[in-house]
Chain A
Amino acid sequence: AQSVTQPDARVTVSEGASLQLRCKYSYSGTPYLFWYVQYPRQGLQLLLKYYSGDPVVQGVNGFEAEFIKSNSSFHLRKASVHWSDSAVYFCAVRENSNNRIFFGDGTQLVVKP
């Protein structure tokens, strides 16, 4: 069965530091992978997605993610975080058969000034 695991419920980093948010998925077919961000009292906004090609995908606001098939991972990275990046980040996989999307439990990112 498909699932997404985000092992870190909360990550705290200082402004200007680099960031990695971890995501591992379980899916038997070709995974279509997404990262979304949710700011307080808002819906989900797409950061980036991967479904084929270059395993390193670029997203908005300087975010990128790398698909590593051998590790079933799709970690999110940013070279230098800003305080406005504080939010909850969700990794997700969309399945082929009935095209539903499955989310991880999210990682709360806190950026300290």
Chain B
Amino acid sequence: NSKVIQTPRYLVKGQGQKAKMRCIPEKGHPVVFWYQQNKNNEFKFLINFQNQEVLQQIDMTEKRFSAECPSNSPCSLEIQSSEAGDSALYLCASSLSRASQNTLYFGAGTRLSVL
């Protein structure tokens, strides 16, 4: 079973509010991913890190989200100004390395509802 811990499980925000969620990757996993899963089960890659360094992020993440993975602290993903379209399940995953054969282990997710 995955040991990726995500908090909170549920988050309710009004439009324009900040929404922040956290992720503790599995111990010893330096690579962390954030994905957004919408109600149609479509996954959107948001950003990934190796240790504290951003490896890749999409445009949306660069503009409206801020994310970090500080050393010795949980990783976080924050939406600066929530929009209705941001309502989704946000999944954090960690991996032993960037090598493709390594599995991504997912947390239970943070379900964000933007009213």
Q: Which residues of A contact B (CB under 8 A)?
A: 32, 34, 36, 41-46, 49, 51-52, 88, 90, 94-96, 98-103, 105-106
Residues of A close to B104: CB separation below 8 A = 34, 94, 101
A101→B31 CA distance, assembly (Å): 13
A45→B107 CA distance, assembly (Å): 9
Contact assessment for B108 and A43 in the assembled complex, using a CB-CB cutoff below 8 Å: yes
In the complex, the chain A residue whose C-beta lies closest to that of B4 is A43
Residues of B close to A105: CB separation below 8 A = 40-42
Q: Which of A45, A51, A90, A102 contacts B101 (CB 8 A)?
A: A51
- Asked whether A42 and B101 contact (CB < 8 A) given A98-B55, A103-B43, A105-B42, the answer is no
Interface size (B, Cβ < 8 Å)? Answer: 29
In the complex, the chain A residue whose C-beta lies closest to that of B97 is A99
Q: Which of A32, A90, A98 contacts B56 (CB 8 A)?
A: A98
Contact assessment for B41 and A100 in the assembled complex, using a CB-CB cutoff below 8 Å: no
Contact assessment for A46 and B91 in the assembled complex, using a CB-CB cutoff below 8 Å: no
A96→B92 CA distance, assembly (Å): 20
Q: Which of B4, B41, B93, B108 contacts A88 (CB 8 A)?
A: B41
Contact assessment for B45 and A100 in the assembled complex, using a CB-CB cutoff below 8 Å: yes
Contact assessment for A36 and B106 in the assembled complex, using a CB-CB cutoff below 8 Å: yes
A30→B2 CA distance, assembly (Å): 26
Contact assessment for B55 and A34 in the assembled complex, using a CB-CB cutoff below 8 Å: no
Residues of B close to A103: CB separation below 8 A = 43
Interchain nearest-CB distance for B51 vs A (Å): 15
In the complex, the chain A residue whose C-beta lies closest to that of B10 is A41
A58→B33 CA distance, assembly (Å): 26
A51→B99 CA distance, assembly (Å): 11
- Asked whether A32 and B101 contact (CB < 8 A) given A43-B91, A100-B56, the answer is yes
A77→B52 CA distance, assembly (Å): 39
- Asked whether A45 and B100 contact (CB < 8 A) given A98-B55, A100-B56, A105-B42, the answer is no
In this complex, the member of B6, B55, B99, B104 whose beta carbon has the largest number of chain A beta carbons within 10 angstroms is B104
Residues of B close to A34: CB separation below 8 A = 103-104
